[in-house]
Structures are given as structure tokens and as C-alpha cells.
């Protein structure tokens, strides 16, 4: 009997080892599947770029390949399940628990909870182990795939156009997302009520579920549109409006969804409206967002201070430290109960503003390329998984009425977001957001990685499973149809392309092109002052004089900006390299602040500033200020330039991001 017991134990150990080896092999095959998907996507992208194909973006291509592989895995691989017996029954008074210990023949085994199973699927739960393992843990998306995507958005932000349109971007991102959320939520609640009347609902679907769906589906991700904009060099301010809205909108959507989940009215019915619970959710929203913002900014500042150490002699260590500090921001915010998406976004903006000035040239290139590659791979991985999940996810709930109603609600919510807010924004903007820009913003409201990640994070209930399936189909439609129609839409709306958004001044024959403002319509007078908010001007002055000298090796020493009584403190806080650095501050934000003498036009050998002053490189130009008509001018105001240009019957053309001053008729 002892020998038989030993033989049985040896057989069990061999079976366990064999099962572990089989599991390891399947995990390797799963990862290999995704790597091959990405490889195939990259090769096809190269072919598309070589052939200048723009009707399908790389994300849409990744989704198509994911769909094809999902079909093969779903219907082309035989079942390998061995769970065909009726499961044993167990009664727990306290309900399901996360961990269960079972005594099997004197040995204790631990089992973890994976979720509830429908009775009709009780014999096919693991009919294919590969399909089951291909369904990733949702935390993988939030902790591994999302951080590089969001950080890269903040780190590569074009601050010039972003801050130029900051007020509009914040309005669209905060107020627009809230409007879209509540409009979609209320419309979908009407759809749910209609489904109840028609008998199309098989389980509970509450009003808070509808609001939650409105929050997650309001997260826009126009990655396809922005990629085409960048490739075609579309209007810089339109690009900034769409990009800024999508970046900030993702952060608002995730905090808004968390606040809706935290909505808990008092009393027996937890799904009725309660004023105290509502204001509590609003407080949670403000607290989470502000706390996440502060954590991201503080982490970025800490990284900047660490980068002041003499790490530039070791570029590899410098890059590794930068990478780890940036990624830890996301995890730190999540661990503290805040939102990692908001934290890592503002950490990226802070890193680009301060830390990047302290890195060596080699580390600067490395960090930029590193996060660019991680962003590219993570984004395409998510879109590939979307296509795969349509066939490998085993809890889909397809409801044609809910899906059709969701498309209508999203269209109405986007329209009531863009057009009314654009009207209100234009009341306070000197350079208006034109109608064709508004139509393009309406068309470009695609849904993508963030909406998918929020939907897949919780699929435990019937309502959440229906939301996930609907979100997946909405992402497919918007990426393929709206993304593929971007180029024809640009042409149909007469939005100019081929404009370099990063070039302020560019001589063109006898005329001069000047970067200016928000892409306004033709106006009758030139405006040389930058349309920057007074609050940003104050911030720029404070940042340039005090924060940059403390957090970077560049900038004016604090001894020249602080009062004389603060001399010892200024010498203590200023980096020694700041005294030795005679190069100008590496600060692109200075492009945002244009004073009266900051803008210079060159015509022939005469340089004209925006305040009317001019200088000539010829022998006759050394004696004073001259206008474009060759007459001497003593005016130093902005009106002088306008009077001089008016005498030549100039035409002021504001198109996209350029003002064109034709000085001579070459007809």
C-alpha cells in the first residue's frame, strides 16, 4: 500500500509538471501570435507608406489583422478542453469569495475566482484553452500599455500651438466631455427603457450604467486623423485643437467614469438620484483630477532635480532613470487612489519642459526615440487585440437596438458638444474657429484605445458586457470609416494642407509669410501680438525667472532675478552651470509671447519690425528707421506698420497658420 501511494504521488507530480509545461508552451504561442501580428502590421505599413496609401491607417490595419487571426483561433483550432463533467456543488452563505481552499485526498489546493458563468456555457467554459488565455487581464492595459501612450502624448506635445489654444482646448475637454457624457447617458437610458418594453433586456441595466457608458464612450482618440494631419501638414491650430482635446479628454473621461462608479446614494435603492451623493461625486472628480495633476507635476519636478546631478557623463544611466521615474508616476498615482492617466500626462509635459533641458544630447535622443517606439508598439498592440477580442472574448452581448442607439447618441452628443461650445468660444476669441474647422472636429471624434481600455476593465455584469461589445463595434466603425475618410473630408471642407506648423517666418520671393494666431478669416488689419491668455503670460514670466533657473542648467541666474537681499539663497539654488552657460535658454515657450518689437519682416535688404521700425543692410540704411515705401519713419507703434502696408494696398491673408503679405504684383 505504501508503494502504491508513492506511485500515485509520482504520477500526480508528473501530471502537474506536464500541465505546467503545456501551459508554458501555450503562453509562448500566445505572445508569439501578437508579435507576428505587430510584425505583419509594420511590414504592411511600410508598403502603404511606400505606395502613399492613406485610406487606411496603421491602427485600422492592425484591427483587420487581429480580426483575421481571431477567426482562425476561434474556428480553426480544435477544442482542447477536458472539463466536461458536471462541477461539484458548494453552498456559501456569504456569497462568492476571491480565494477557495479545497482538500483533495489530504492535499490542499487554492482556487481563485474568475467570474460568474451562465448555465448555458457551463460545459464550454474552457473548450479552448488558447482562447481563454488570449483574453488578457484588463490591468495589463492600464499598468503596461497605457502609460507609454499617455506619457508620449505629453512629452511630445507641441507647446506652441497647444498653449496658443489652451482656453479652447480646456473648454472642449472639460465642459465638452461632461456635456457629451450626460447627453449620451440620458439618450441611452431612453434606449434601455425601450428595450425593456420590447423585452430585449435579460438582466438589470440602471441609469448609472448608462451614465458610465456615456463617460467611457466620450473618450475620443483621433489617432488616425492626427496621423494624416501630421503627414499632410494640415493646419497647426486645428491639429492642436484635436490633439489637445483628445489628450485632456481621455484624462477627464477616466476621472468622470470613476466618479460615476463612486456615486452611492443612501437608502435601500442605490440607483436613484440623491443630491448629497451627486455633490460627493463632483467632489471626488475634482479631488482625483487635482490630486493626479499635482502628483504628476511634482514627480516631474523631482525628476528634473535628480537630473541636475552629474549623470550626463553616463547617458545609459541617465536614460534608465528617466524611464523608471516616468513610468513610476503612473503606478504611484494608482497606488494612492488617484488616476495614473492624468498623472503621467502632466508628468510628461513637465519632463519635456524642465528635465529635457538637463539631459545630455545622447540621452535626449534616446528618451524621445524610446517612448516613441513604446507608444507605437503599445498602440498597435491594443488595436490588434481589439480585432482579436471580437472572436476570443467569450462574454459578448450583442444587442442591435442598443448598438444602433449608441451610434445615434454619440453623433448627437458630439454635435451638441462641438457646435454650441465653438459658438461660445468664438465670442471671446479674436481669431475665430471657422465653420469648416468645426465640421472637421465633429467628424474627427473617433473612439479608440482609451474607450476600449475603460470598457474592458470591468465586464462582470450583463450591462458592462453589453457596453464592452458596443464600444468595440463603435471603435471599429470610427477608425475604419471616419479615419479612412479624413483625406476626402479635408478636401471637401477646403482645409489647407502642406503648411509647416513649426516654421514662423519664411521668406518667399518678394513677399513674406508669418505664423500668426489661430487661423482666422481674412481681416482688415494686422495683429502682431500673440493671442495668449494673461494668466499664461504671468506664468511664463514666473517660470522663466524663477523655476527654470532652479530646475534646469539653463536660464538667467537667480542672482539677477531675485532681490539683492536674497543673494545667498539665490546662489544656493542656482545651478553652477547657469553662470557658465552663455547660450540662450532652451525654451520654446518664448515663441508664445510676442511683444511689439518681436516680429520682424524682411523685404529685399530692409528689415521691418512689428512696431514700425526698420533697418537696412545697404549703405543708405544705416542712418535710421525706414518704412517699406522707402520713406523715413519715426513711429514706433503697431499702427505705423499698418499705415506703411496700407499705402501699398497690401492684402492680408490669414490662412491656416500663416499671414501672407504680398508686396508686389507679379501678374
Domain limits, the chain? 138-264+276-501
Q: What share of the chain is helix, strand, coil (3-state, %, to 5)?
A: 65, 5, 30
What confidence tier does 117 reach under pLDDT thresholds 50, 70, 90?
low
CA atoms lying within 13 Å on the CB side of residue 101:
3
CA nearest neighbour of 663 among 615, 627, 618: 627
Q: Domain 138-264+276-501: which CATH class?
A: mainly alpha
Contact residues for 597 (Cβ-Cβ < 8 A; gap 6+): 609, 610, 611, 613
Residue 611: what pLDDT?
A: 42
Residue 401: what pLDDT?
A: 95
Look at residue 630 and tell me whether its pLDDT is greater than 60. Answer: no
Look at residue 631 and tell me whether its pLDDT is greater than 80. Answer: no
The grid cell for 125 is: 467554459
pLDDT tens per residue, range 208-253: 899 999 999 998 887 777 777 877 778 878 888 888 888 888 889 9
pTM of the full structure? 0.75
Distance of CA 25 to the CA centre of its chain: 36
Lowest mean pLDDT among 124-133, 191-200, 399-408, 457-466: 124-133
User: What's the whole-number average pLDDT of the chain?
Assistant: 75
Contact residues for 409 (Cβ-Cβ < 8 A; gap 6+): 183, 184, 187, 188, 191, 214
Asked whether 100 and 54 are in contact (CB, 8 A), the reply is no
Q: Which helix (H) or strand (E) holds 358?
A: helix 356-358
CA atoms lying within 13 Å on the CB side of residue 345:
22
The end-to-end CA distance of the chain, in Å, is: 109
Contact residues for 118 (Cβ-Cβ < 8 A; gap 6+): none
What is the mean pLDDT of the segment spanning 390-406? 90
Look at residue 608 and tell me whether its pLDDT is greater than 80. Answer: no
What confidence tier does 525 reach under pLDDT thresholds 50, 70, 90?
very low
Look at residue 504 and tell me whether its pLDDT is greater than 60. Answer: no
Look at residue 444 and tell me whether its pLDDT is greater than 60. Answer: yes
Asked whether 63 and 476 are in contact (CB, 8 A), the reply is yes
Q: Is 604 exposed, middle or buried (0-12, 13-18, 19+ CB in 10 A)?
A: exposed
Amino acid at each position: 500500500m505504501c508503494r502504491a501511494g508513492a506511485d500515485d504521488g509520482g504520477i500526480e507530480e508528473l501530471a502537474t509538471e506536464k500541465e505546467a509545461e503545456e501551459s508554458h508552451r501555450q503562453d509562448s504561442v500566445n505572445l508569439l501570435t501578437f508579435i507576428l501580428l505587430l510584425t505583419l502590421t509594420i511590414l504592411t505599413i511600410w508598403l502603404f507608406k511606400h505606395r502613399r496609401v492613406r485610406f487606411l491607417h496603421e491602427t485600422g490595419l492592425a484591427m483587420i489583422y487581429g480580426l483575421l487571426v481571431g477567426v482562425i483561433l476561434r474556428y480553426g483550432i480544435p477544442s482542447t478542453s477536458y472539463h466536461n463533467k458536471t462541477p461539484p456543488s458548494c453552498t456559501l452563505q456569504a456569497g462568492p469569495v476571491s480565494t477557495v481552499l479545497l482538500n483533495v485526498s489530504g492535499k490542499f489546493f487554492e482556487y481563485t475566482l474568475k467570474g460568474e458563468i451562465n448555465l448555458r456555457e457551463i460545459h464550454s467554459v474552457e473548450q479552448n484553452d488558447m482562447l481563454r488565455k488570449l483574453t488578457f487581464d484588463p490591468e495589463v492595459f492600464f499598468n503596461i500599455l497605457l502609460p507609454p501612450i499617455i506619457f508620449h502624448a505629453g512629452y511630445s506635445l507641441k507647446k506652441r500651438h497647444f498653449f496658443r489654444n489652451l482656453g479652447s482646448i480646456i473648454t472642449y475637454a472639460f465642459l465638452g466631455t461632461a456635456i457629451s457624457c450626460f447627453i449620451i447617458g440620458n439618450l441611452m437610458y431612453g434606449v434601455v427603457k425601450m428595450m425593456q418594453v420590447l423585452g430585449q433586456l435579460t438582466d438589470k441595466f440602471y441609469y448609472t450604467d448608462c451614465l458610465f457608458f456615456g463617460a467611457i464612450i466620450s473618450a475620443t482618440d483621433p489617432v488616425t486623423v492626427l496621423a494624416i494631419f501630421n503627414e499632410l501638414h494640415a493646419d497647426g491650430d486645428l491639429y492642436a485643437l484635436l490633439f489637445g482635446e483628445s489628450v485632456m479628454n481621455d484624462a477627464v473621461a477616466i476621472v468622470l467614469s470613476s466618479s460615476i462608479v463612486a456615486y452611492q446614494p443612501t437608502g435601500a435603492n442605490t440607483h436613484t438620484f440623491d443630491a448629497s451623493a451627486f455633490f460627493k461625486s463632483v467632489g471626488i472628480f475634482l479631488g482625483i483630477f487635482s490630486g493626479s495633476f499635482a502628483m504628476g507635476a511634482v514627480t516631474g519636478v523631482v525628476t528634473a532635480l535628480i537630473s541636475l546631478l552629474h549623470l550626463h557623463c553616463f547617458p545609459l544611466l541617465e536614460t534608465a532613470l528617466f524611464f523608471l521615474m516616468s513610468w513610476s508616476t503612473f503606478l504611484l498615482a494608482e497606488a494612492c487612489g488617484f488616476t495614473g492617466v492624468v498623472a503621467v500626462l502632466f508628468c510628461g509635459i513637465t519632463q519635456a519642459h524642465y528635465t529635457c533641458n538637463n539631459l545630455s544630447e545622447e540621452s535626449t535622443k534616446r528618451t524621445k526615440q524610446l517612448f516613441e517606439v513604446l507608444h507605437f508598439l503599445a498602440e498597435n498592440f491594443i488595436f490588434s487585440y481589439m480585432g482579436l477580442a471580437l472572436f476570443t472574448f467569450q462574454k459578448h452581448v450583442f444587442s442591435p437596438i442598443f448598438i444602433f442607439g449608441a451610434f445615434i447618441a454619440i453623433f448627437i452628443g458630439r454635435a451638441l458638444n462641438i457646435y454650441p461650445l465653438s459658438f461660445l468660444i468664438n465670442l471671446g476669441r479674436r481669431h475665430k474657429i471657422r465653420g469648416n474647422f468645426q465640421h472637421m472636429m465633429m467628424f474627427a471624434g473617433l473612439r479608440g484605445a482609451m474607450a476600449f481600455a475603460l470598457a474592458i476593465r470591468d465586464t462582470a455584469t450583463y450591462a458592462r458586457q453589453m457596453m464592452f461589445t458596443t464600444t468595440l463595434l463603435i471603435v471599429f466603425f470610427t477608425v475604419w470609416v471616419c479615419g479612412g475618410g479624413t483625406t476626402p473630408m479635408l478636401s471637401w471642407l477646403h482645409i489647407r494642407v502642406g503648411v509647416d506648423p513649426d516654421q514662423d517666418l519664411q521668406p518667399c520671393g518678394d513677399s513674406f509669410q508669418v505664423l500668426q494666431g489661430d487661423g482666422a478669416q481674412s481681416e482688415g488689419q494686422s495683429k502682431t501680438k500673440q493671442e495668449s491668455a494673461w494668466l499664461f503670460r504671468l506664468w511664463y514670466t514666473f517660470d522663466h525667472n524663477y523655476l527654470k533657473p532652479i530646475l534646469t542648467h539653463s536660464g538667467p541666474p537667480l542672482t539677477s532675478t531675485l532681490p539683492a537681499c536674497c543673494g545667498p539663497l539665490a546662489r544656493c539654488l542656482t545651478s553652477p552651470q547657469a553662470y557658465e552657460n552663455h547660450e540662450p535658454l532652451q525654451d520654446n515657450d518664448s515663441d508664445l509671447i510676442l511683444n511689439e518689437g518681436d516680429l520682424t519682416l524682411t523685404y529685399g535688404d530692409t528689415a521691418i519690425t512689428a512696431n514700425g521700425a526698420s533697418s537696412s543692410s545697404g549703405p543708405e540704411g544705416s542712418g535710421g528707421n525706414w518704412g517699406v515705401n522707402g520713406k523715413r519713419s519715426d513711429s514706433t507703434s503697431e499702427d505705423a506698420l499698418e499705415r506703411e502696408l496700407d499705402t501699398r494696398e497690401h492684402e492680408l491673408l490669414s490662412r491656416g497658420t500663416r499671414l501672407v503679405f504680398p508686396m508686389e504684383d507679379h501678374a
